Amino acid sequence: MRHRATVDPTRANIAVLVSHEEHRRVPFTCFQCPDAPCQAACPTDAIARDETTGALAVDAEECILCGACVAACPYGNMLLFDPDPAATKCDLCRGNPECAAVCPQRAITVAEGRSTEADIEAALEAARLELGAAPVRRHPG
Ligand code: SF4
Ligand code: SF4
């Protein structure tokens, strides 16, 4: 919603992954990786970390829509939808994530500090146990 003038869960920077076999649902979004493959893949250095929030964000002025970041993210958390002017990802809404604000169950909380590789592996393992498979969100078509 914040990044697009529409409410469309299929284009949101956070996704709810569904396992029909396990009858489970798991919210899934960017890990703000310490050594982010999306950032490393960008040929124009359009992806930079906000040192205040710790989030990686795309500078739309620098994005040439090449899709390298989409291919590089192992988890499908970089998005590129026509007719968006740039690739998008979760940027923690500049420090006030709206997904956390609207969750009626308060199931999404904002933690202090930066993600480590161990944090990411623990989150992946928890999601694997819930879903019965490695979590990767749908890539945009
Ligand atoms: S978009 Fe993917 S590669 Fe980039 S920081 Fe997020 S999870 Fe890591
Ligand atoms: S789509 Fe944009 S942000 Fe992604 S790698 Fe290409 S130039 Fe960088």
Sign of CA dihedral 75, 80, 85, 90: negative
Residue 136 covered by a domain = no
Query: Tens digits of per-residue pLDDT, 29-58?
Result: 999 999 999 999 999 999 999 999 999 999
Atom of ligand 1 at shortest range from CA of 56:
5
CATH number of residue 82's parent domain: 3.30.70.20
Residue 2 covered by a domain = no
Residue 7, CA distances (Å) to 12, 29, 49, 94, 137 in order: 8, 17, 26, 19, 19
Residue-number span of the structural domain to which 15 is assigned: 9-131
Query: Tens digits of per-residue pLDDT, 85-140?
Result: 999 999 999 889 999 999 999 988 888 889 999 999 999 999 999 999 999 886 65
Which one of 13, 31, 88 would you pick to mutate in the ligand 1 pocket, going by the greatest count of ligand atoms within 8 A of its CB? 31
Number of independent structural domains in the chain: 1
Residue 140 covered by a domain = no
Residue 84 covered by a domain = yes
Atom of ligand 2 at shortest range from CA of 72:
5
Q: Which ligand is nearest to the CA of 120?
A: 1
Q: Which ligand is nearest to the CA of 69?
A: 2
Residue 134 neighbours by CB distance under 10 Å? 11
pTM for the full model? 0.91
Residue 74 covered by a domain = yes
